[in-house]
Amino acid sequence: MTAPPALSYSFGSTRVAILDTDYILNQLKDRVRFGIGCRTSAGPPVGQARSFASSHVLQELYKADALGNRDKWDKLAKQSQSEGWPRRPDTFREIFESEYLEDITFVNVSGMFEDDPIAQKVRLRGASDTPTAQLAVLLARARPIVHSHDHSLWEPGLAPAPERFQ
């Protein structure tokens, strides 16, 4: 019996979103200000696509910045105060950790695709954004295949039949 050719199968959304720090902060700011289900920021809301971010983004969220903010939660609290809808820093942090963190896969791209033309162009414009460009290059090259010798995976076409691996 010949197995059908492997079909493309989606584990959830086929859309892949690569997020930078400002995008996450804007989504979070809208969520805190306007509530669940708001959509004022451009792009898919976190969790509605397979969301990835460079690990440097996660680090940026929790570290002090050059403007004197203890972390990005402090920055968002100051912005909300100046815009007339004050919230405490822990409100932003708690919502991020409870509603966003598990939906974002953070990837360490150190040493990957540093010489790629896209990464080099981004580095010239804003070196701190280079890891996001490197992640985009990495994910653009990804074409996953499920490797399995289990008939329940290759018969429906999720994985190539075992003889195709030999």
The mean per-residue pLDDT over the stretch 20-44 comes to 79
Q: 61 and 144 in contact (C-beta within 8 Å)?
A: no
Q: What local confidence, expressed as pLDDT, does residue 92 receive?
A: 98
Count of CB atoms situated within 10 Å of the CB of 113: 20
Sheet holding 104-107, edge to edge: 16-18, 50-54, 104-107
Cα 61 from Cα 2, distance rounded (Å)? 51
> What pLDDT score was predicted for residue 140?
82
Determine the average pLDDT of the residues in 9-31.
78
Statement: residue 149 has pLDDT above 90: no
For the segment 118-142, the average pLDDT, to the nearest whole number, is 87
Residues facing 53 on adjacent strands: 106
Q: Return the higher-pLDDT residue of 138 and 12.
A: 138
Non-local (6+) Cβ contacts of 88 within 8 A are 77
User: In sequence order, what are the beta bridge partners of 106?
Assistant: 53
pLDDT-wise least confident of 12-16, 65-69, 108-112: 12-16
Least confident of 38-52, 59-73, 89-103: 38-52
pLDDT band at 17 (very low <50, low <70, confident <90, very high): confident
What's the pLDDT score for residue 9?
44
Q: Is the pLDDT of residue 147 over 80?
A: no
pLDDT of residue 64: 97
Q: What is the pTM of this model?
A: 0.73
